[in-house]
Structure formats: C-alpha cells, structure tokens
Chains A and B, each alone.
Chain A
Amino acid sequence: GAGVSQTPSNKVTEKGKYVELRCDPISGHTALYWYRQSLGQGPEFLIYFQGTGAADDSGLPNDRFFAVRPEGSVSTLKIQRTERGDSAVYLCASSLQIGELFFGEGSRLTVL
C-alpha cells in the first residue's frame, strides 16, 4: 500500500476484554515495529519484527500483550484482560532497513 495502515483507528472496550489491533505495513518492508504512546509522552517501544519472527520483544509490558506476524507482512497486537492503564495510542511502523521508520496514524485504545 501507499503507507502504513492501522485498524481500528479508535477502539473503546471495557476492562477485562480482549482486543486486537492490526497493522498493514508498506509493501516490501521487512521490519515492523509496535510502539505505545500516552498523552504528552514520546512513543514507547513494545516489539520489533524482522520478517515473521520477533527480533526484540523486550518492550512488551507483561504477558497480557502478544504480537504476531505470521506471513511477514500484516501484524496483529493482541491484548488480553485489558486494564484502564492500557489506554493509549498504539503506533505501528515499518522500514525497509535500519534507519527511517514509516509510521501509521495509530489505533487509539480506550479501556473503560
């Protein structure tokens, strides 16, 4: 596609529910990143994929968070048993090589 696409753009859920956020990277980009951004803060690293494998998942805050990229393209970030503290904008980015990241518009998650 022309850019990184993230869906949904907004998600409101209740505490304890399960949520999936999807990222469709730029075609041909092998690297894919997930970041989380709270209001007034910089993006916080969650996980980085190179191809299908998670090359670095050290930023995932706990085992409620999981991400997959089964075919090396689209990625899904999964959050189980959501908590109010999970409310944030979840940003996805892709890149062809180490260097410039291309970001999507983000998925705003609100946990009530």
Chain B
Amino acid sequence: SQQGEEDPQALSIQEGENATMNCSYKTSINNLQWYRQNSGRGLVHLILIRSNEREKHSGRLRVTLDTSKKSSSLLITASRAADTASYFCATDGASGSRLTFGEGTQLTVNP
C-alpha cells in the first residue's frame, strides 16, 4: 500500500453541505499536506500541518492530524460547486524532502 491513502475514493454532495476526506499513512512524518487538483490541471497546495500540530484552519478548510493513528482529515465547510476537484494528501516521510501522495478523493459538489 502507498504512504498516504485517502478515503473515500469518491464523494458526491450538494452545495452548502460539508465534505470530509480522510487520509492514512504508514511511516513517521515531519508534516502532512493537502493538495487540490482540478481536472487536467496541476496540483495546488491547500494547507500544511506539522507533526506536532493537531488541528489547523484556513478559511473554509479544517485539517486534523492524529499521529498516534497515523491519520488526517480534511473538512471543507459550506461547499460550493467550484470545490469540485480531486484532493490529495501528501506526507514527507523520514527524509523530509520527497512528498509521497495518496490516490486522492474525487469530490463532486452538485449545485
């Protein structure tokens, strides 16, 4: 299995609802990041949470990190149709340099 596995693989919700995506990883990390990718485009960084942090907020985004369970969650509140994209978690592992990405969650927000 890959370092960084998201679930669910796909999520479909209505505009205004909250969307929660989860990520699990296997090895120790220095930090965990979440990225977003619109279809056919490059990845865009959303938020970084360090291993000594438990929760972080950025606008409508809330990220939690549980290093004892080696898991993280990304919550998008009050979703909009423009939030439709794939969301990936990425971990740096012991090296602290290369990022390893998960398979992603495909989020569809229906207007």
Contacts and interface: CB of A to CB of B under 8 A. Distances in A.
B88 A43 contact: yes
Secondary structure call for the B interface: loop
Contact of A42 (B42, B95, B103): B103
Contact of B99 (A41, A45, A55): A45
Interface of B: 2, 4, 30-31, 33, 35, 41-45, 48, 88, 92, 95-104
Interface residues of A, number: 26
Interface stretch (A63-71, A80-88, A96-104): A96-104
A91 interface: yes
Given A44-B101, A103-B35, 11 more contacts: A4-B42, A41-B103, A45-B98, A50-B97, A98-B30, A98-B92, A98-B96, A101-B33, A102-B45, A103-B43, A106-B42
Contacts of A103: 35, 42-44
B2 A33 contact: no
A101 B34 CA distance: 11
Given A42-B2, A42-B103, A99 B42 contact: no
